């Protein structure tokens, strides 16, 4: 019997587990669960990627005072699918003196890194694939693997443009990882644990961005800026700027391999936004204001999965807003910004937060 309770997905997962274990041997049940999870994640990844590309085009169109895609499908819904079919039908060009094994490996490394990071996110109450006790540490560590993919892509293309683009991108991502880690450390200090489910549950009476007042808001803003730089987007996209050196590290890729890079960029945006929503904005916890019982009851009616996706999409919209408003930073200004401005501010913020937590100067 498979039960579905929209307010707590643990009934669904435990009923599937029970029915599988009844039907076959335990080791085979576990294997089937692995395969099932993998399939669900693959489909979710692909569909969400398609939807995010479409959403970006529509948001960009509204900001620029025009209508986005509106020919393919009712509101242009199938535009991304048409693009995907076009990319699949393109010829896979092999370069003469390129290192073939590394050239073909690079897109896979990038996609696998973002897949692994997505596995640890808490999507709703009871819907989390892996709940490690070092949750947030695992996510940051695994998303660093994407850099390796980019550097491999740039080197193995055997082209001047790709090499310059990959070197810039590598330098940028490695520098900004420090600030991302420190900004997330702020919430780890507040909640006292790195496990993602504990962090979400500790926000049951209020989100950390409200409970942690000024230092938490500061950490949130710093996280948004550095996370945009991490995913090579927005005002920090010098590595793939079209008007400067063609397309950077993925110049020589065509067809499905280019689609992998493209998709991985959008999914990285989703993961970064999801982490911000989980740590700062309460994950799947509804908005509760202490003392207003009627309000809290209404907020509880909305299922937790809708809270999670709603918060994530608000942050995705903010990240898109950054991209379409500002001009690009030069590579030396980018690194300047990180090492001279963001990192010292982050360190000061961390010291203040430790002081605040030790003295108990926040809303418990």
Going residue by residue from 278 to 317, which x/- string records binding to another protein, judged by CB under 8 A? ----------------------------------------
Counting contacts by CB under 8 A, is residue 321 touching another protein? yes
Say if CB 3 and CB 11 are below 8 A apart: yes
Shortest distance in whole angstroms from residue 317 CB to another protein = 8
Say if CB 135 and CB 120 are below 8 A apart: yes
Shortest distance in whole angstroms from residue 330 CB to another protein = 5
Q: Using the rule CB under 8 A, give the single segment among 24-32, 58-66, 148-156, 288-296 that binds another protein.
A: 58-66
Residues 93-152 that bind another protein (CB under 8 A): none
Counting contacts by CB under 8 A, is residue 363 touching another protein? no
Q: Considering beta carbons, is residue 7 or 161 the nearer one to another protein?
A: 161
Residues constituting the chain: 364
Residues 336-355 that bind another protein (CB under 8 A): 341, 345
Counting contacts by CB under 8 A, is residue 160 touching another protein? yes
Counting contacts by CB under 8 A, is residue 244 touching another protein? yes
Selected binder of another protein within 136, 329, 343, 353 (CB under 8 A): 329
Shortest distance in whole angstroms from residue 140 CB to another protein = 26
| Helices 256-279 + 100-118 axis angle, to 10 | 30
Selected binder of another protein within 65, 89, 97, 290 (CB under 8 A): 65
Selected binder of another protein within 91, 327, 359, 360 (CB under 8 A): 327
**Number of amino acids touching another protein (CB under 8 A):** 33
Selected binder of another protein within 18, 57, 211, 328 (CB under 8 A): 328
What's the CA gap between 334 and 243, in Å, rounded?
A: 18
Query: Residue 335 burial by CB count (10 A; 0-12/13-18/19+): exposed, middle or buried?
Result: middle
Shortest distance in whole angstroms from residue 222 CB to another protein = 12
Counting contacts by CB under 8 A, is residue 201 touching another protein? no
Q: Using the rule CB under 8 A, give the single segment among 133-141, 173-181, 288-296, 327-335 that binds another protein.
A: 327-335
The residues that touch another protein, with contacts defined as CB under 8 A, are 59-60, 62-67, 160-161, 164, 235, 237-238, 241-245, 321-322, 324-333, 341, 345
């Amino acid at each position: 019997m498979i039960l579905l309770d929209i307010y707590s997905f643990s009934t669904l997962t435990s009923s599937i587990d029970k029915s599988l274990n009844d039907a076959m041997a335990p080791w085979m049940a576990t294997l089937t669960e692995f395969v099932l999870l993998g399939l669900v994640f693959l489909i979710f990844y692909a569909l969400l990627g398609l939807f995010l590309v479409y959403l970006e085009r529509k948001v960009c169109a509204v900001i620029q005072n025009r209508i986005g895609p509106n020919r393919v499908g009712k509101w242009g819904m199938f535009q991304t699918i048409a693009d995907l079919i076009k990319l699949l039908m393109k010829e896979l060009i092999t370069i003469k003196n390129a290192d073939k094994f590394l050239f073909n490996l690079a897109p896979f490394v990038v996609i696998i890194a973002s897949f692994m990071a997505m596995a640890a996110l808490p999507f709703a109450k009871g819907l989390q694939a892996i709940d490690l006790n070092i949750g947030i540490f695992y996510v940051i560590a695994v998303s660093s693997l994407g850099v390796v993919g980019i550097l491999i892509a740039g080197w193995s293309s055997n082209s001047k443009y790709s090499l310059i683009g990959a070197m810039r991108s590598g330098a940028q991502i490695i520098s900004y990882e420090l600030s991302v880690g420190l900004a997330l450390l702020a919430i780890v200090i507040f909640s006292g644990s790195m496990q993602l489910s504990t962090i979400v549950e500790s926000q049951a009476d209020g989100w950390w961005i409200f409970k942690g007042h000024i230092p938490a808001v500061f950490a949130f803003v710093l996280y948004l800026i550095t996370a945009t730089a991490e995913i090579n987007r927005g005002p920090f996209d010098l590595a793939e700027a079209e008007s400067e050196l063609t397309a950077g590290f993925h110049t020589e890729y065509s067809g499905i391999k280019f689609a992998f890079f493209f998709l991985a960029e959008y999914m990285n945006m989703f993961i970064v936004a999801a982490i911000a929503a989980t740590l700062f904005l309460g994950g799947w916890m509804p908005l509760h204001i202490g003392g207003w019982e009627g309000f809290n009851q209404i907020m509880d009616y909305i299922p937790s999965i809708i809270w999670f996706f709603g918060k994530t999409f608000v942050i995705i919209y903010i990240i898109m807003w950054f991209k379409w408003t500002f001009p690009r930073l030069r590579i030396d200004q980018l690194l300047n910004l990180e090492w001279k401005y963001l990192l010292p501010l982050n360190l000061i913020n961390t010291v203040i937060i430790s002081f605040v937590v030790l003295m108990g100067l926040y809303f418990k």
